[in-house]
Amino acid sequence: MLLEPHTLEVVVEVGKRPASWYSAEKGLFSGEPHLCLQENFWDAGEKVAIERYYIIDATAGAVTRHSASTQAYTDEEYRSMLVESGFGEVEFYPSLSGDRDGPAGDLMVVLSKKPVA
């Protein structure tokens, strides 16, 4: 099994980002002109970054809300979950290319194999 999750540090950083906003003619949340207000939260107990997006339609003023949650895990938690699921030989790499400073620097690679029966 090959996984390419965000690193624990990146998930923490996402949850601790300050509130922000932007305006757009169209985008992920709307095909119409809108204002996006974003707030972020870090739940240390659950190790979850929560992102909330409030989209204000520029014409009608209607507000829609979207949310994303990202769970963070330590290397040992990944190892434990994979072993409990029947995998073994769990290995960690900085990226698919081996370069932590490249475009995928926020991601790491976890590689594991199921034992041959």
Residue-wise pLDDT for 46-101, tens only, equals 999 999 999 999 999 999 999 999 999 999 999 999 999 999 899 999 988 766 66
* pLDDT of res. 69: 98
Domain count within the chain: 1
CA distance 98 to 80: 23
The band of 10, judged by pLDDT with boundaries at 50, 70 and 90, is: very high
* pLDDT of res. 100: 63
Q: CA-CA distances (angstroms) from residue 49 to 4, 29, 54, 70, 73?
A: 18, 20, 17, 5, 11
Q: Which of 18, 108, 21, 14 has its CA nearest to residue 70?
A: 14
Asked if residues 29 and 37 have their Cβ atoms less than 8 Å apart, the reply is: no
State whether residue 52 is helix, strand or coil. strand
Range of the domain at 69: 2-113
